[in-house]
């Protein structure tokens, strides 16, 4: 097999078509993100290629999506226009965005909270979320739990999953991870393998334990309404749940 290898620390988000093939068909979180309002304005943080933003627009909500990646936003805009939705997409940093409107719901899907690599960035993001919410507005997000299966170092590539690219070619996805116990971050190296070549990309994500999340949210002016351990609404178990899904509301 002829191998071509490319390494790019930002590659995860610079190829929106490939990203959309791999993750764009995920629908398990739609119910939670759409259950708390049936009308009004929604802001989708780190919206990517518009997977959730478009779904919420389909359900009659007025949507705005923000992301740092221009290429992701361009694809989200093209998909939305093709479906007839008038969605505003803006290039913004989730740590320090400033828009001229407030929202009934702010959503952050896809474990995007983990892109905030230190507590200062987390606090800045939550302050922006609070400012942009209407009175009693909802903030819903998900992140991975700090369980042993995630907080580890693996030196050999492990099989993760596979998907079909835009040309119908099967792509097998493998990964390694390196856990930094001081910063509570994990550096992931992802290898995507086609028949003719493979690519490598790296991304660092932060893990925040549940008590710390509650403290940060409380300080930012949120009350917790629901906490789930999966998108099927299983109760959260701090020792066993792989996911933390938090439904919160801006305090009065």
List of E strands, 7-93:
7-8, 41-45, 62-67, 88-91
Mean pLDDT by 10 residues, the chain (252 residues): 41 83 97 96 98 98 97 97 96 96 98 97 98 96 95 95 97 97 96 96 96 98 98 96 97 86
Per-residue pLDDT at 13:
73
Cβ atoms of residues 204 and 183 within 8 Å:
no
- Domains in the chain with CATH codes: 7-14+147-206 (no CATH), 39-146+209-250 (3.40.50.150)
User: Which of helix, strand or coil describes residue 215?
Assistant: helix
Q: What is the DSSP letter of 235?
A: B
Residue 31's closest CA among 143, 144, 140?
A: 140
Which residues on adjacent β-strands are paired with residue 202? 189
Cβ atoms of residues 44 and 107 within 8 Å:
yes
Q: Which two tokens stand for residue 233?
A: 């609404």
Q: Where are the alpha helices (DSSP H) in 35-103?
A: 51-58, 70-82
Per-residue pLDDT at 11:
56
- Please state, in angstroms and rounded to a whole number, the distance separating the CA atoms of residues 148 and 47: 29
Quick one: which H or E segment has residue 213? helix 210-219
List of E strands, 207-242:
222-228
Please say whether the dihedral angle defined by the alpha carbons of residues 177, 180, 185 and 187, taken in this order, is positive or negative: negative
């Amino acid at each position: 097999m002829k191998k071509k290898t490319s390494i790019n620390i930002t590659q995860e988000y610079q190829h929106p078509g490939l990203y959309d093939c791999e993750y764009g068909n995920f629908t398990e979180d739609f119910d939670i993100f759409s259950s708390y309002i049936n009308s009004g304005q929604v802001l989708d943080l780190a919206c990517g290629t518009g997977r959730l933003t478009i779904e919420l627009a389909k359900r009659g909500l007025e949507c705005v999506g923000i992301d740092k990646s221009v290429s992701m936003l361009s694809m989200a805009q093209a998909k939305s226009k093709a479906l007839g939705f008038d969605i505003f997409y803006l290039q913004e940093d989730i740590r320090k965005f400033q828009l001229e409107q407030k929202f009934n719901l702010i959503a952050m899907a896809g474990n995007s909270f983990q892109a905030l690599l230190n507590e200062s960035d987390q606090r800045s993001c939550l302050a922006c979320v609070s400012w942009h919410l209407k009175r009693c507005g909802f903030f819903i997000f998900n992140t991975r739990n700090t369980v042993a299966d995630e907080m580890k170092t693996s030196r050999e590539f492990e099989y993760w999953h596979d998907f079909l690219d835009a040309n119908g070619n099967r792509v097998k996805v493998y990964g390694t991870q390196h856990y930094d116990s001081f910063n509570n971050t994990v550096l992931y190296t992802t290898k995507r393998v086609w028949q003719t070549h493979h690519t490598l990309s790296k991304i660092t994500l932060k893990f925040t334990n549940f008590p710390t999340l509650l403290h940060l949210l409380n300080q930012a002016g949120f009350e917790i309404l629901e906490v789930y351990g999966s998108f099927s609404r299983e109760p959260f178990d701090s020792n066993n749940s792989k996911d933390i899904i938090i439904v919160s509301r801006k305090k009065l």
